[in-house]
Chains A and B, each alone.
Chain A
Amino acid sequence: MVVTSTARTISFREEVENLLHAEEGVSLVRCVQCATCSAACPAVEFMDHTPRELIGLINAGMKDEVMASNTFWTCASCYACSEKCPEGIRPADLMYALTRYSLWKDTFNRDWVAPEFSRRFTRTILRTGKSYEPGYAPAFIFEGGFPGMVREMRMAVRLLGKGRLPLIPSRIKRIRNLRAMVARVLPLDGIE
């Protein structure tokens, strides 16, 4: 037998598991497809694939199907699945890992609001150190069409009347230091 190379291509499952390293999660091969995660999920009917199906697709190496799925962008991070998995897998952390992967590989569907919302949110914090709700409106306000936009504006006016809507973004004092801190863990131009 001739060994041509010692290198081995890692599978999609291993690639995904590498993204989970910091969470100390259990390997996805432990999944027994019992669907407890899907039953616990309050948003499951709005997902292209249930969490159980998604894990099955990952284990089968069906990368294109997984990356095209809206499932991980539909997760509300309520962690009900992670609490209930009898094998100790943490699907909620898996969903986070896949959102990062899809932003990194630029595979997300441009029609979805969630990726753009997360990006805007992150950029805002890197500019001011704090969140500023009105700044995210452009990511979603046109979603509901014209009537939806009018309703959203009406609510903004009511909130404004109650003094609950900030007109000017708040900013931390040492934003320069905070940016320098972030730059020590990842390149700022990658996220801004």
Chain B
Amino acid sequence: MTRYAYYPGCSLETMAASYHVSSMEVARKLGVELEELEDWNCCGATAYSKVDELLATVLCARNLAIAEKRGLDIVAPCNACFKNLWTTNAAMKRDADLADHMNYALEADDLRYDGKVEVSHIMNVFVTDEALASIRQKAGERIKGLRVAPYYGCQIVRPRRPGVELAQADNPTYFEALLEAAGADPVAYPYKVRCCGAALMVTNRRAAVQMLRDLLQSAVDAGAEVIATACPLCQINLECYQREVNRAYGTNYAVPILYFTQLLGLALGVGVKRLGIGKELVSADAVLKRPCAATAPTGA
């Protein structure tokens, strides 16, 4: 059994609670143990870095130090949390002065960080060869042939981690592999790593709404019945502001936006309620009530 320090991040306690419960269900099915990081604090999203760089670093350093004390590597389900924790980890490992400075601060919480922790996005845990084989073996017919647009978002692939080629960051394929293993039919569309608008939804609404429109149109053009996300902010923007896009552009999108763990959970036979399905503002009925889901030919 693989065990990780699970860093849920603030959104998963509230707006994205279904991402939390579905991650837990899928992990259990696949023999991955997620132990919530003790007394974790906010990663800072994009706001701290806009105010002060050391502030952004010290707050992530605390989470890394708590995981190190527990002797576990971190997984984070949110793209922004993942990127912030990853970036701070890399900076502290390469910059001894910065690490000293951070350790001086960490003393105030009886902590110390020596760079022994690895940080991964939770999706990485479910796309290893072993996990994919297990998914293939355990997946039922529930999402067979479902046309899913895999939406990676930004910070899961950017900034590019060492050893990743630009072509891979531009056109990653592990999300597709995961959906295929679960029986779904991932659609190819050009916007899978383009930004959803992120916090611009608050700070520059017109910009974010346009970015969302482009993204929704791209997925719909490719024939997607549902968009799967790997980040709470992407999910919230795409779902909660779909009406706003429709109002601004005279469109009539009604695309369900689910977390990839919810679709994976369905494939693995977890009940709808246990996956937090039913809390959407855009109904997921298109996914749940497909006519003869198991036998429908692709394109039906």
Query: Which A residues are closer than 8 A to B by beta carbons?
Result: 22, 42-43, 45-46, 73-74, 76-80, 82-84, 90, 92, 96, 99-100, 103, 112-115, 117-119, 121-122, 125, 129-133, 136, 139-140, 143-144, 151, 155, 158-159, 162-166, 170, 172-174, 177-178, 180-186, 191
Contact = CB atoms under 8 A, between A and B. Distances in A.
B254 to A, nearest CB: 15
Given A115-B50, A118-B51, 14 more contacts: A45-B207, A77-B199, A78-B198, A83-B158, A84-B166, A90-B159, A113-B204, A130-B13, A131-B45, A170-B13, A174-B39, A185-B55, A186-B52, A186-B55
Contact of B54 (A73, A132, A185): A185
Contact of B279 (A22, A46, A163, A173): A163
B195 A42 contact: yes
A129 B105 contact: no
Given A22-B91, A46-B204, A119-B51, A77 B15 contact: no
B42 interface: yes
Contact of B17 (A119, A164, A191): A164
B155 interface: yes
B205 A143 contact: yes
Interface string B159-179: 110000010011000000000
Task: Identify the interface centre among A92, A133, A151: most chain B CB within 10 Å of its CB.
Answer: A133
B10 A181 contact: no
B142 interface: no
Mostly helix, strand, loop or mixed at chain B's interface? helix
A160 B54 CA distance: 35
Interface residues of B, number: 67
A186 B53 CA distance: 10
B59 A125 contact: yes
Nearest to A131: B10
Contact of B207 (A46, A178, A183): A46
A155 B45 CA distance: 23
Given A22-B95, A80-B158, A180-B109, A43 B207 contact: yes
Contacts of B42: 125, 129-131
Contacts of B206: 46
A103 B51 CA distance: 7
Contact of A181 (B47, B52, B105): B105
A183 B205 CA distance: 34
A96 B53 CA distance: 9
B270 interface: no
B158 A185 contact: no
Nearest to B101: A185
A74 B279 contact: no
B7 to A, nearest CB: 12
Given A79-B159, A178-B62, A164 B109 contact: no
Task: Identify the interface centre among A114, A129, A131, A166: most chain B CB within 10 Å of its CB.
Answer: A131
A121 B10 CA distance: 12
A77 B51 CA distance: 14
Contacts of B296: none
A164 B12 CA distance: 10
A69 to B, nearest CB: 14
B10 to A, nearest CB: 4
B158 A82 contact: yes
B41 interface: yes
A178 to B, nearest CB: 6
B154 interface: yes
A34 to B, nearest CB: 16
A133 to B, nearest CB: 7
Contacts of A46: 204, 206-207, 210
Contacts of B200: 43, 74, 76
Nearest to A190: B52
Contacts of B195: 42-43, 76, 78, 80
Contacts of B226: none
Contacts of A84: 166
Interface string B54-74: 110111001000000000000
Contacts of B54: 185-186
A174 B98 CA distance: 23
Contact of B203 (A114, A122, A186): A114
Nearest to A134: B14
A147 to B, nearest CB: 10
